């Protein structure tokens, strides 16, 4: 299946972000995300951009419930549902592997470009393999239930999703391929990035007879409830001036909101930021979270978001744009513990200008109150997302609340200045769990961590990720800083890399001296080399047993 570059470019324009999801910060962002997703699905139906013109979609019937002995899935189901997948057999030759990219927490069609020019394309070309994109249950069109009410989300769990992949590998028949490629008769290698990277690692440990090898790219194999560590890579590897200025800004904000806790000063702080009518202090502090953008940086211009560097450029700006507010800012900065500090005043003025150019324009055009526009504490706005087309704002949120956690708080240890306000705590940031799903207790992290967490290890299980990835603290790559790598236990940190940077690629005739960057080229070649070795090892063992 070879496809034109021109059509591929159209598909790229529809590709969603591939990172582990950080939820919308305010109700308006949730509404905008739903509308954007619906527009995207509408565009996908146009003849010139339909991904099925590139790769036909297929479905396989899999069990809804693979764990009838587990009470948490009661009432159990004996039914099946369609799990969607795509494949590319362009380079397949007998003896080649099946290389599966797990779709993770998004529509599986968003991953189709990886068949054309990403890591799947590169591996199957190097190994004479067959490439697969496999959608995750409760995403895209792969739904085992008629709606996303809480009672119908009970089958959305880590172990049920892993069982789907195992069933798929043992039962799928690829249309037009005159060979039985089911596992374990064929070497199956599974790859995933981020949440799907954790899945890949878990599959190798849980179903070692099915999956010959697995590659966990930025795989978050340890579930953490209060995930303040999300900001540690930014603190350690981000632009020093941007990071230091952000820490000072947040210390001023917390100095007023927490240490002073004076009603008049709190109101004065909101006033200078143009956010006078936000009632809840946490909703106010939640607007000062520009460092979140690091996760969305990428070496590929088509996937890169400039938001992090735009924020850093603004917070380190040397010419002030809100000089008329300096007297009021100077008083607040002094009250927060920085008397006569023009440096901290300048940083605060920069932040005010940044808020005025990013957050406030949308509110001004909305004709809404600041409370209704900026709050995250509107239960009604969460409770409306129960139809299947709302999975963008429901499925991963449920997984967060039920098993995974990853609540990105400002709750750093006392000796670390945070990059977001300490008022942004677990209670505030889990409001949606209570409002949307009625989940009052912390997630059952054991359902994830039972597979091995940071200590997870197995023969032919690889770990790759960027050293600056905000999700690195939840991966085996966080500590130690380096370890010995081997063909059986590959391990690689991508220098200056962020979130599973080796997954995407460019067409071979469009490479430049800078794209992909050298460390990504190396990571992709490193990955291809050990997969080639794994396939050769499979053939050697197979020949040995046949003698």
Q: Which positions are catalytic?
A: 194, 469
What is the C-alpha separation between 13 and 519, in angstroms, rounded? 25
DSSP H or E segment with residue 432: helix 431-437
Q: Which two tokens stand for residue 195?
A: 């949440």
CA 132 to chain centre: 20
Cβ of 459: how many Cβ atoms within 10 Å?
Answer: 14
The helix/strand/coil state of 82 is strand
Burial class (CB within 10 angstroms; exposed 0-12, middle 13-18, buried 19+) of 383: middle
Angle formed by the axes of helices 195-206 and 158-171, nearest 10° = 60
As a residue count, the chain comes to 547
Q: How far is CA 216 from CA 203, 226, 477, in A?
A: 10, 23, 10
What is the C-alpha separation between 449 and 527, in angstroms, rounded? 26
416-431 burial: b if 16+ Cβ within 10 Å, else e: ebbbbbbbbbeebbbb
> The tokens 């924020």 sit on which residue?
311
> Strand 80-88 to strand 58-63: parallel, antiparallel, or no bridges (unpaired)?
antiparallel
Q: What angle do CA 172, 175, 179 make, to 5 degrees?
A: 70
Radius of gyration for the chain, computed over Cα atoms and rounded to the nearest angstrom: 24
The helix/strand/coil state of 336 is coil
Nearest Cα to 400, choosing from 190, 227, 147?
227
Q: Is 494 left (phi over 0), alpha (psi -120 to 50) or beta?
A: beta
Torsion of CA 336, 342, 344, 347, to 10 degrees: 140
Residues 6+ apart with CB under 8 A from 179: 94
């Amino acid at each position: 299946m070879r496809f034109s570059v021109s059509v591929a470019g159209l598909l790229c324009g529809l590709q969603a972000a591939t990172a582990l999801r950080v939820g919308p910060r305010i109700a308006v962002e949730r509404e905008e995300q739903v509308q954007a997703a619906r527009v995207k699905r509408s565009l996908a139906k146009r003849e010139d951009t339909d991904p099925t013109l590139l790769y036909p979609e297929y479905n396989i019937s899999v069990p809804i419930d693979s764990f009838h002995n587990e009470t948490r899935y009661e009432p159990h189901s004996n039914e099946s549902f369609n799990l969607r997948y795509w494949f590319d057999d362009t380079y397949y030759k007998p003896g080649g592997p099946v290389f599966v990219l797990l779709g993770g927490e998004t529509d599986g069609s968003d991953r189709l470009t990886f068949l054309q020019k990403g890591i799947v394309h590169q591996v199957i070309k190097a190994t004479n393999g067959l490439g697969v994109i496999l959608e995750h249950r409760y995403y895209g069109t792969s739904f085992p239930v008629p709606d996303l009410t809480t009672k119908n989300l009970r089958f959305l769990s880590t172990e049920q999703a892993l069982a789907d992949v195992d069933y798929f590998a043992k039962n799928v028949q690829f249309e037009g391929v005159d060979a039985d490629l089911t596992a374990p008769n064929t070497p199956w290698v599974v790859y995933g990035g981020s949440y799907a990277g954790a899945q890949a690692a878990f599959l190798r440990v849980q179903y070692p007879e099915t999956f010959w090898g697995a590659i966990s790219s930025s795989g978050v194999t340890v579930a953490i409830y209060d995930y303040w560590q999300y900001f540690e890579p930014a603190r350690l590897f981000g632009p020093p001036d941007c990071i230091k200025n952000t820490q000072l800004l947040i210390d001023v904000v917390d100095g007023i909101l927490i240490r002073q806790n004076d009603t008049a000063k709190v109101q004065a702080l909101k006033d200078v930021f143009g956010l006078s009518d936000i009632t809840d202090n946490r909703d106010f502090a939640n607007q000062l979270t520009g460092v979140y953008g690091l996760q969305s940086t990428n070496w590929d211009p088509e996937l890169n978001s400039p938001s992090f560097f735009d924020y850093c450029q603004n917070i380190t700006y040397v010419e002030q744009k809100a000089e008329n507010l300096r007297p009021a800012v100077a008083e607040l900065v002094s009250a927060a513990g920085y008397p006569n500090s023009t440096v901290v005043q300048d940083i605060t003025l920069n932040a005010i200008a940044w808020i005025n150019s990013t957050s406030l324009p949308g509110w001004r055009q909305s004709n809404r109150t600041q409370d209704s526009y900026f709050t995250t504490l509107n239960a009604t706005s969460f409770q409306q997302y129960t139809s299947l087309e709302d999975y963008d704002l429901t499925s991963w949120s449920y997984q967060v609340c039920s098993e995974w956690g990853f609540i990105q708080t400002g709750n750093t240890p006392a000796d670390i200045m945070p990059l977001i306000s300490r008022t942004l705590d677990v209670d505030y940031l889990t409001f949606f769990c209570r409002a949307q799903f009625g989940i009052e207790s912390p997630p059952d992290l054991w359902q994830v961590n039972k597979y091995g967490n940071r200590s997870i290890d197995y023969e032919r299980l690889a770990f790759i990720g960027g050293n600056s990835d905000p999700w690195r603290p939840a991966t085996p790559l966080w500590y130690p800083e380096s370890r010995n790598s081997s063909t059986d236990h590959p391990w690689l940190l991508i220098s200056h890399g962020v979130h599973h940077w080796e997954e995407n690629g460019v067409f071979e005739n469009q490479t430049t001296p800078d794209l992909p960057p050298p460390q990504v080229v190396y990571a992709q070649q490193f990955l291809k080399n050990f997969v080639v070795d794994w396939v050769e090892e499979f053939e050697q063992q197979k020949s040995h047993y046949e003698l």
